[in-house]
């Protein structure tokens, strides 16, 4: 009877998770849907506490209290600008939990004071699951830590590469797969088990080491997927369906996101992971800016242009996030609308450091979501647009992706900003973007450059537009 | 491989398909909340952690279990709060604008 109740709570939780994720297809229903998913989680937790194998609650309650105390501020107070590192950080926690459960299970079976010592035939399937669990878990722990460090900038955001790197990675990968096979053959082998943990941990570090800042969206999504797979493997190991279902959902989600991100950069998975973009090699063939002059514009002139524009499209990039200028963007847009203009936002899938980064920042600044458009929806509208305002974006608007087959970003889908009647680019300096290549857009005769910190430039624009 | 193992594989594959179909339809607009949401849901590892922490498996598994409970609970609490916080920010324009040629964002909820 008790077991039936536990299983029913798990079933209800699984349904609620799926409904919650489904609600995310509609912004108006998403919030309520996710609250339902949270309720599902609560049910699953209560159900688990009824589990008959549980004898003492002291430790569990202690852990739950610590988790709540740490989790509450992480949910409540972390600013939206810090969201990419916040997400990477929590992947680490999720994967750590899965890894520790895997180690605990193994210890319970073959080590400890009273090992259950199941025979190899009995435990082969379970051991394969535990092996996958610690493999995905450990590599997600170290990989997410590296991603967190790079996004938080206490580890260099530049790709770190060295000779023989891919060879070393291949060796580590083969070693992990080999150990996994061995563990299935001989489940009680303690050394092989802990080798998997150690090697996977090393793989996580090595995997993220050569990844540069702008490739982070792919990696963060991929780690999301791995964290899910680790949870699913836990479900196989302890025979729990809700874990398998939730893990499969997370795994699918992370996988889809990383594919979308790779496509938006016109690069394969393998290229992102092993290519180490923007470190010599590929950039050699890019055009240089010699002999070309970018035309600077004063805030006064830019303000006049904007105040009398009918259709304005704002293109935000990572520069807007760095300058935390989203509120000023919204204020400027309001002023333009007051003067009779129409403002839309064009968002490239890989703008920023994680999927949907720009959308969240703009939403935080109270930009209504109907005004935010995906690349495919808005690209045809640039031709009719009077002024396109590019704020801290570079590679995602570089026409070389369409016109210059020698460019490293050739083939990447871009926002067709150069079709607009006039372009204003807000930029700190003439430095090249992440890919390290010159942007012809900046030298186009329609383009004017407004140099300076995005936030300061926007504040000047706001006060000038008020006076027009 | 046991019959249970096969059933588990069925559950995994089918749930993966459901996830694939549902999540492909999430608009890019909500991709960050989606990541936060799946992160919160991955806190379901808590279920495994609780059994490890509370069952009498020995001293080391209990310690590992408690750490795992704390980690997973952090994701559950933090993840659902932050998802809710983010989703509460996605709002429509206060007065519906009736500008010609203005199509709503994908999945713009009607």
Phi, psi torsion values for A427, nearest 5 degrees: -150, 150
Q: Per-domain residue ranges for chain B?
A: 29-86
- What residues of chain A, 204 to 243, have a C-beta less than 8 Å from chain B? 220-221, 224, 227-228, 230-232, 234-243
3-class DSSP state of B104: coil
Whether A395 is catalytic is yes
CA distance B102 to chain A (A): 9
Q: Are A374 and A386 in contact (CB under 8 A)?
A: no
| Helix pair A299-307, A454-467: axis angle to 10 deg | 60
pLDDT one digit per residue (tens) for chain A, 468 residues: 788 999 999 999 999 999 999 999 999 999 999 999 999 999 999 999 988 788 888 889 999 999 999 999 999 999 888 899 999 999 999 999 999 999 999 998 888 777 877 887 778 889 999 999 999 999 999 999 999 999 888 888 788 888 888 889 889 999 999 999 999 999 989 999 999 999 999 999 998 888 887 788 888 899 999 999 999 999 999 889 999 999 999 999 999 998 888 888 887 777 776 655 444 333 444 455 556 677 888 888 899 989 899 999 999 998 898 888 999 999 999 999 998 899 999 999 888 888 889 999 999 999 999 999 999 999 999 999 999 999 988 888 888 888 888 777 888 899 999 899 999 999 887 766 656 667 888 888 888 888 888 899 999 999 988 887
State how beta strands A372-374 and A311-316 pair: unpaired
Q: Which two tokens stand for residue A331?
A: 């204020």
Contact B70 A66 (CB under 8 A): yes
Burial of B38 (0-12, 13-18, 19+ CB in 10 A): buried
In whole angstroms, give the CA distance from residue B87 to residue A436.
35
- Does A32 reach chain B within 8 Å, measured CB to CB? no
In whole angstroms, give the CA distance from residue A391 to residue A453.
10
In whole angstroms, give the CA distance from residue A356 to residue A350.
8
Provide ipTM, 2 decimals.
0.88
Predicted model pTM: 0.88
Q: Which two tokens stand for residue A257?
A: 């996101």
CA distance B103 to chain A (A): 8
């Amino acid at each position: 009877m008790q077991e039936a109740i536990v299983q029913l709570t798990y079933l209800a939780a699984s349904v609620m998770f799926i409904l919650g994720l489904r609600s995310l297809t509609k912004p108006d229903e998403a919030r309520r849907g996710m609250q339902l998913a949270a309720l599902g989680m609560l049910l699953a937790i209560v159900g688990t506490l009824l589990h008959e194998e549980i004898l003492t609650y002291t430790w569990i309650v202690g852990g739950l209290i610590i988790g709540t105390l740490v989790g509450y501020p992480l949910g409540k107070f972390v600013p939206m600008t810090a969201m990419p590192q916040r997400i990477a950080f929590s992947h680490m926690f999720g994967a750590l939990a899965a890894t520790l459960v895997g180690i605990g299970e193994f210890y319970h079976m073959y080590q400890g004071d009273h090992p259950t010592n199941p025979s190899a035939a009995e435990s082969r399937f379970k051991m394969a699951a535990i092996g996958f669990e610690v493999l995905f878990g450990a590599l997600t722990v170290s990989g997410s830590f590296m991603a967190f460090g790079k996004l938080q900038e206490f580890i260099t955001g530049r790709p770190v590469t060295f000779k023989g790197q891919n060879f070393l990675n291949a060796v580590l990968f083969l070693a992990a797969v080999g150990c996994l096979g061995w563990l299935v053959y001989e489940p009680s082998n303690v050394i092989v088990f802990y080798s998997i943990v150690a090697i996977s941990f090393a793989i996580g570090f090595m995997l993220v080491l050569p990844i540069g800042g702008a490739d982070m969206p792919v990696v963060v999504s991929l780690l999301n997927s791995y964290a899910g797979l680790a949870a699913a493997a836990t479900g196989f190991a302890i025979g729990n369906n809700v874990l398998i279902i939730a893990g499969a959902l997370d795994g699918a989600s992370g996988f889809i996101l990383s594919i979308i991100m790779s496509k938006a950069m016109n690069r394969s998975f393998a290229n992102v992971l092993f290519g180490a973009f923007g470190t010599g090699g590929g950039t050699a063939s890019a055009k240089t800016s010699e002999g070309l002059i970018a035309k600077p514009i004063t805030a006064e002139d830019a303000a006049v242009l904007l105040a009398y524009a009918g259709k304005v499209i704002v293109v935000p990039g990572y520069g807007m996030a760095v300058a935390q200028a989203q509120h000023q963007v919204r204020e400027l847009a309001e002023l333009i609308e007051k003067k009779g203009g129409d403002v839309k936002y064009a968002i490239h899938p890989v703008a920023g450091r994680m999927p949907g980064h720009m959308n969240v920042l703009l939403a935080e600044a109270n930009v209504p979501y109907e005004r935010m458009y995906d690349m495919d929806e808005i690209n045809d509208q640039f031709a009719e647009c009077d002024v396109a305002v590019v704020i801290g974006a570079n590679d995602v608007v570089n026409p070389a992706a369409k016109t210059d087959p020698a460019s490293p970003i050739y083939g990447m889908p871009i926002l067709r900003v150069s079709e607009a009647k006039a372009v204003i680019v807000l930029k700190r300096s003439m430095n090249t973007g992440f890919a390290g290549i010159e942007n012809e857009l900046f030298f186009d005769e329609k383009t004017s450059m407004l140099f300076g910190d995005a936030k300061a430039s926007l504040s000047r624009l706001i006060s000038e537009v008020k006076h027009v | 491989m046991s019959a249970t193992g096969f059933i588990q594989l069925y559950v995994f594959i089918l749930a993966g398909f459901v996830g694939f179909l549902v999540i492909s339809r999430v608009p890019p607009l909500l991709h960050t909340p989606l990541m936060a949401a799946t992160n919160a849901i991955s806190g379901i590892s808590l279920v495994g952690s609780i059994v490890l922490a509370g069952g009498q498996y020995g001293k080391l598994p209990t310690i590992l279990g408690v750490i795992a409970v704390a980690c997973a609970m952090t994701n559950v609490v933090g993840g659902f709060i932050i998802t809710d916080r983010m989703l509460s920010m996605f709002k429509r324009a206060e007065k519906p604008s009736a500008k010609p040629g203005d199509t709503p964002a994908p999945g713009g909820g009607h």
